[in-house]
Amino acid sequence: MENGQSNFEVRENTIRGENKEINKNFSQSKKEKKQRIMNIVYLISVIILVLTIVFLLIFFLLIKKKKNIKESFIINETNSIEATYITEAGKEILLINQNEIGLKDDDYYIEEINFPRNRNYLRNLKLLSINNGRYLPKTSGILNTRIFLKKNLKSLDGFFKDNKELIKVNLTNLILNEVISMKSTFSGCSNLTEINLEGINSGNLMKMENTFENCIELKSINLSPLNTSNLLYMNNVFSGCQKLETIHLISFEKINNDLFMELNQSQILLQIN
């Protein structure tokens, strides 16, 4: 009897010991699991902190780069072109023929502007991401831009050539005193309806072949601001301008026979102001 009871007590003590060991192991496992979770949370926090610092650093560098880009250009509106385009979301458009003009990436930059402008518009300009003169718009509609040029160009040959999206351009603030050629500058701009040349200096201009060729939507153009005293080549200046009705001039000191024949064969009115 006593032996049986003793054996029972031994088994009971053994079971109790095993239970204590199980509880101890469970408690230890729970602590380890909790520690692992805390380690993971800490690691995630560190990663988030590092990514935040990296993001802020990149953002700061981009802002600084944009500021430096602006400061490297003449920002008081000189040597720039205002151009307006029709855009379609997700369809890449050609803003300028960078390679044909001979411009490098750091020779110019293009910013989006809204009209009418206010006195603070320069601070609200949006720098566009341009790839070899091309831009991928996110929205459809009208895109108003200002093209800032870092250097004075000697040629505008093919600047907007075959630009189907260009509808309006203002060359008022462009420095043209070194430009000798405007060959095919607007050739193939089939949706171009308005060109402003007011106030430009073009005393060295010698070539204007095919300048406005196939600008089929252009109805009137004012060439009065152009200094044409040195013009030599004017073949097919308005060839294919099917809707062109009037050309405004103050005087044309040199108009070669090719242009005379072109105007005579068309219904274009040459108006001397």
DSSP one-letter string for the chain: -HHHHHHHHHHHHHHHHHHHHHHHHHHHHHHHHHHHHHHHHHHHHHHHHHHHHHHHHHHHHHHHHHHHHHHTS--SS-SEEEEEEEE-TT--EE---HHHHT--GGGEEEEE--SS--TTGGGG-EE---BTTEE--SS-EEEEEEEEESS--SB-TTTTTT-TTEEEEE-TT---TT--B-TTSSTT-TT--EEE-TT---TT--B-TTTTTT-TT--EEE-TT---TT--B-TTTTTT-TT--EEEES--S---HHHHHHHHTS--EEEE-
Residues 201, 176: contact at Cβ < 8 Å?
A: yes
Residue 209 to residue 49: CA distance in whole angstroms: 61
Q: What is the mean pLDDT of residues 76-99?
A: 85
The pLDDT score that the predictor gives to residue 266 is: 58
User: Which residues, in sequence order, are bridge partners of residue 194?
Assistant: 168
Pairing of the two strands 141-149 and 80-87: antiparallel
The pLDDT score that the predictor gives to residue 143 is: 92
Q: Which two tokens stand for residue 214?
A: 């196939």
The pLDDT score that the predictor gives to residue 193 is: 95
**pLDDT tens per residue across span 142-191:** 999 988 887 778 888 999 999 999 999 998 878 777 888 889 999 999 99
**pLDDT tens per residue across span 28-58:** 667 777 778 888 888 888 899 889 888 888 8
Residues 80, 148: contact at Cβ < 8 Å?
A: yes
Q: What is the mean pLDDT of residues 77-91?
A: 86
Q: What is the mean pLDDT of residues 134-142?
A: 89
Domain boundaries, the chain: 1-71, 77-273
The pLDDT score that the predictor gives to residue 192 is: 96
**pLDDT tens per residue across span 196-230:** 988 676 778 888 889 999 999 999 888 877 777 77
Q: What is the mean pLDDT of residues 84-102?
A: 89
Residue 33 to residue 111: CA distance in whole angstroms: 55
**pLDDT tens per residue across span 253-268:** 555 555 555 555 555 5
The pLDDT score that the predictor gives to residue 250 is: 62
